[in-house]
Structure 1
Amino acid sequence: MRIRELFLATILLSFTISAIAQTDTIISKSRQKKDFLKICILPVSLIAGGILISNSNFEKSFQEDVGNVVGNDFSTTVDNYTRYVPIVELYAADVMGVKAKNHWFDQAKNLTLSIVITDFITFKLKNHIYKTRPNGSSDGQSFPSAHTSSAFTNATILFEEFKGTSPLLAYSGYVFATTTGGLRIMNNAHWLSDVLVGAGIGILVTEVIYFFDPIIKWNPFEKTKNVTLIPEVDNDQYGFYLCIRLKSF
């Protein structure tokens, strides 16, 4: 029953946010509604699809097929690192001077908000919806996948920052995010639905943050270009690295 309730809550949340978005005076109402609904289509579809197949025979059969292909003893820790590759790409591109959509502070601000909100939603759902992992682990933390939600949050940040100036770089983050989700399934740590919902949450939260960014625009370092704050996330701990770029002489 909780899965069905979550499905209804997701639909309700989408309509609620859409209604709030229409009050924005910066963008025309008709264009704003169209743009907001457009960015919601993919993530809401992923979330809805994941909820519908959760605990289904299809999902169980899919997991068995994956195990038969890669082997039931398949194990790798690569997925612990691939989820962070888009962030490495983001700041490496900044250092190399690739033109981004936003100033470094706005990047850090949006990244931090997206990570914190995504983690909050993901772990709240994990604790509320007790779902056993495919490997039989009794922690009940299978749904949704935190690795995947984190990976797609980072990938969407990279996409939003460089989609207008470097499309290849922008889309590359999704390759690593998809790889992360795939490896979670191959590791027998998550079901397909866990990964789909995790991806949807990561994309939706980040897209909403960027959609409202013009409204909550705040940048005390707007004229500072040689200093960068890099968010650090380690389980329940959050912090920042300060990066100073020295001018060449």
Structure 2
Amino acid sequence: MLSRLQHLRILALFMPFGLLAPPLAAQTPQATPVPADTLHKYQDPVGSVPAKKPFLKSKVFRAAIVPTVLIGYGASTINGHGFYSSYDAKKDIRRVFGDYRNHIDDYLQWSPYLEVGGVLLAGVESRDDRVNLALIVLKSEAIMLSSVYIIKTLAGVERPDGSDNLSFPSGHTAQAFLAASIVHTEFRDKSQWYGIGAYTLATSVAAFRMINNKHWESDVVAGAGVGILSAHVAYLTHRNRWGRQPIRRDVSVMPLWSPAGGTGISLTWRPH
């Protein structure tokens, strides 16, 4: 049997190891969390190869198929060509509407843009922020106006009323369908009815251009294709530089006053 003194000596021998164990465990290095990389979140990882979609499912094909069909059909029905030619359409329109004329199409072509303003004022968020949306509109308009002018000049198709030889394609119709395409793209995630309403207005413009004897059937169908294609090209070639966030979050306005300078406004803008 061990005496009490021997028990104490054994405990004293092992006690330093028990006391040293907690500090050694506490000194074990801990893994430092790596902060998230927010500067390159829209870029593909280095060395990665993005999956290539089939051409029929690519963005380019989907953006071009509808306007290509419209422009092709319009070109195929110029004058007396096609299964239902422009001459056939004019004959039927004149039989129904006679000599009826109006100027509503001159104003209705801008109506989809009014829809954009009304929807934004109602508090519905668009896909792009205000600055990028404005840039897309400007780019779309430049593409459409230049395309319509070049095609009109080269085609030299006489208008139904004989006023000039700048009939093909319809600029009014191209303008209306361009704006309708922007409405559809910006708000289709909120509701498809915004796009349906815009395209209904654009179709009304095309109809009134023929009723007013300013354009042939071929002109308005091709004009619709040119307008849609212009908007699609603008979106495909646009690089959004503000992370697709509403720009108003980065804009602050503050009134200023000083005894020497009077009153004023301070505008602070911090784009992402």
Q: Does the Cα contact within 8 Å between 1:163 and 1:171 map onto a contact in 2?
A: no
Report whether the alignment pairs 1:169 with 2:198: no
Please, what is the CA RMSD of the aligned residues?
A: 2.5
User: Residue by residue, what CA displacement relative to the aligned partner does 1:115-164 show, whole Å, maximum 9, x if unpaired?
Assistant: 11101000111112111111121x21101100000000000000000011
Contact kept in structure 2, 1:100 and 1:162, CA below 8 Å: yes
Q: CA offset at residue 100 of structure 1?
A: 1.5
1:169 deviates by 1.3
Looking at structure 1, the residues matched to 246 and 184 of structure 2 have their Cα atoms a distance apart, in angstroms, of 24
Whether contact under 8 Å (2:128, 2:244) holds in the other structure is no
Identity of paired residues, percent? 29
Q: TM-score normalised to the size of structure 2?
A: 0.68
User: Structure 1: which 5+ residue stretches go unaligned?
Assistant: 1-24, 229-249
The structure 2 residue matched to 1:132, chosen from 147, 155, 158, is: 158
Residue 168 of structure 1 deviates from its aligned partner by 0.8
Alignment check: 8 A CA contact 1:105 1:221 kept: no
* Separation in structure 2 between the aligned mates of residue 151 and residue 187 of structure 1, nearest angstrom: 16
Deviation at 1:28, TM superposition (A): 3.9
C-alpha deviation, 1:221, in angstroms:
10
1:44-63 pair list within 5 angstroms: 44-56=68-80, 58-63=85-90
Structure exhibiting the larger radius of gyration computed from Cα positions? 2
Q: Residues 77, 117 of structure 1: CA spacing in aligned structure 2 closer, same or farther, 3 A cutoff?
A: same
Distance 2:233 2:126 in 1: 19
Q: Which residue of 1 aligns with 2:260?
A: none
Which residue matches 2:122?
96
**Normalised by the size of structure 1, how large is the TM-score?**
0.74
Question: Aligned partners of 1:26, 1:141: CA distance in 2, in Å?
Answer: 48
List gaps (5 residues or longer) in structure 2: 1-47, 252-272
1:152-198 Cα shifts (integer Å, max 9, x gaps): 00000000000111211122110010000010001000000000111
Q: What CA distance in whole angstroms lies between the structure 2 residues aligned with 1:159 and 1:26? A: 32
1:217, distance to aligned residue in structure 2 (A): 2.2
For 1:227 and 1:198, locate their aligned partners in 2 and report how far apart those are by CA, in whole Å.
39
